[in-house]
Chain A
Amino acid sequence: MKKLLAMLMAVAMCFTLLTACGNSSDTPAETGSAPAETGDNTGETPADGTAFKLGGTGPLTGGASIYGLAAQRGAQIAVDEIREAGGDIQFDLRYEDDVHVAETAVNAYNTLKGWGMQISLGSVTSTPGIATSALNYEDRIFALTPSASSPDVIAGKDNVYQMCFSDPNQGLASAQYIYEQGLGESVYIIWKNDDIYSTGIKDQFMAEAEALGLNVVGDSTFTEDTQNDFTVQLTDAQQKGADLIFLPMYYQPASLILTQADQMGYEPKFFGVDGMDGILTMEGFDATLAEGVMLLTPFNADATDEATVAFVTKYQDLYGETPNQFAADAYDCVYALKQALETAGCTPDMSNEELCDALMEVFPTITFTGLTGDGQGITWDSTGAVSKAPKGMVIEGGAYVGMD
């Protein structure tokens, strides 16, 4: 009986919370405070009905939270800037946690739907992104995802757009870049087996390398559970005489690979992808290890143009960290949506269906200039895929330097 009581208490607790939660989605005063708290912003929240309700899901806790938090903060900075500048197009931003799991992402999406989300920022990572984009499609809520880069996120969904390069495009561009610049005679690939991002890039890279006649001497992989020791992979590459190692992965495992290659005294060239961006901002990272590492990335936190400097300074002031590519992509997403909404002449009282139709019409026609894309215009085709210039960068003296 005691157990029953305790159980009932737990259930009661759940339901109190649930009702409290339900209430918060009904009362405008409380919803207003929600994004304000998450983003630590001080800007005033507009009254209900005067701002577009913009929602997104991302991993705000757990192992992948670095990406979700960055995107949330980047988007929040853009929303606050727009608010300070004033104007007709205002956003009310709300990010929900999806822990990098598709099921939780669906719950997060449904929470946002209950809140009255009109436009979506999709999901930050790919597997949740595939799940939420299908719902975006069914519910006719327009989505522009900052960083869910798998082609499956946009495939067959006319109202889901990407701000980042798709994974195959990155693989393609990387192979072409290495081939054209003659960077490596024998290429070796280390990729992450249980990660869509990594396998997507690697598959296309291999296909393109074969088409170009680029000499790929071998490849090996690792998983989330074995991403501590890379000796096996590096020794294999060394034995096969690779002079360039392609690393389609995020910077956390990449930093370990660089460290361990250095310990082994193995010094090939390393070529990374946009996930590598951020390696220099890791607290305590010895930048000399990354000396000579090349990568294709749309964003460079060390760039000296006015917009990037302003964004990076603001981000550092608020969060004490240097923004990565995810933050920049999310920041760009908000401004791209603003531009599209202005072009289409949308108002916050429109329904999500009306907004969706309007945005779908406008998006393939606009050219957007933002932090990512090397200062050149960013455009979209009607499938939702982005077209922007990837920039070849090389790390020299602890900073990115353009390769061209």
Chain B
Amino acid sequence: MDITVILDYLIRGLSLGSVYAIIALGYTMVYGIAKMLNFAHGDVIMVGGYICFFSMSGLSSHFEEGSVAAMVVPAVAGTLAAMVVCTVLGVTIERLAYKPLRQASSLAVLITAIGVSYFLQNAALLLWSANPKVFTPVVGRGSLQVGPLSISYVTLLTIAVCIVIMIALTTFTSRGKMGKAMRAVSEDKGAAQLMGINVNATISLTFAIGSALAGIAGVLFMSAYPTLTPTTGSMPGIKAFTAAVFGGIGSIPGALLGGLLLGIIEIFAGAYISTQLQNAIVFAVLIVVLVVRPAGLLGKTIREKV
């Protein structure tokens, strides 16, 4: 086997994996604090993609083609717009659909999240039509040449953003009042409330952060795989959820690790085993890992108390 080819696959795996990782970060964040699987997360990503697409195509005509401003301003403005809209959307969804169910079983919330997911997909279909839109990558289509290998700018950006977000989130949750409040809520809602922590506000804040991450994820995901349709978000959503569990759900570094590994496994399974069974192999590896490490790669095994 040619070593260059293997390295090339590895880079493609990292590229795909970094996209899964950035989506998984949002999943794991919300799960860690609110203890719910937010199945609508993938669809918030889709909305982020559309918002960025329309902002960018709306703005780019105002700038001279080829100028630095034309490359930077629409991309930055588009990303910011996506983040803002996703945050507002995420908080609204949380307020209307999840907050009334704070006392209900986690399954009831799960089903509601699925309802929200259907709602977003169908609303997007009616608003923006089923015709696919082709996204313009925020950093251009080029790639960096390292010897015989080429790494696209999008991949570099995605991995960099992933790491930055991971560090920022870890710092945020380990220091500062809000972060500590979040960890307290995730440990024990009742006790946190008794300590004077506003549990509802903390959960809303978590949704705001998770949804802002979804906005960024949408922009980066669409930059890497630029075909945008109303159902774009659902499959990466499930894969990212898998990645989050793979790494140990609730763990922020776990989401990054799980996402990257999932991407790499997917590419190598296709390259060296079978493209027909690519997905089946990915899930088979997941099962083996979970049987060996029942709480995921970096997850904490909580001992049951009597």
Q: Which residues of A contact B (CB under 8 A)?
A: 61-63, 65-66, 69, 193, 220-226, 228-229, 231-233, 235-236, 239, 252-253, 255-256, 259, 262-265, 281-286, 319-321
Contact = CB atoms under 8 A, between A and B. Distances in A.
B125 A61 contact: yes
Contact of B8 (A224, A228, A235, A319): A235
Contacts of B226: 255-256, 259, 284
Interface string B1-32: 00001001100100110000000000000000
A390 B90 CA distance: 49
A193 B276 contact: yes
A231 B133 contact: no
B150 to A, nearest CB: 7
A350 to B, nearest CB: 36
A223 B131 contact: no
Interface residues of B, number: 40
Contacts of B135: 284
A79 B262 CA distance: 50
Contact of A225 (B12, B230, B279): B279
B19 to A, nearest CB: 8
B278 interface: yes
Contacts of B150: 263-265
26 contacts: A61-B125, A63-B229, A65-B125, A65-B230, A222-B275, A223-B279, A226-B278, A228-B236, A229-B12, A229-B16, A231-B12, A232-B271, A235-B271, A239-B5, A255-B226, A256-B225, A263-B143, A281-B131, A282-B131, A283-B57, A283-B131, A283-B134, A284-B53, A284-B226, A319-B129, A321-B131
A282 B267 contact: no
A263 B136 CA distance: 14
A282 B278 contact: no
A283 to B, nearest CB: 5
Nearest to A264: B150
Contacts of B16: 228-229
Nearest to A283: B133
Contacts of B112: none
Contacts of B125: 61, 65
Nearest to B154: A263
B180 interface: no
Nearest to B12: A231
Contact of A66 (B5, B53, B131, B143): B131
A384 to B, nearest CB: 28
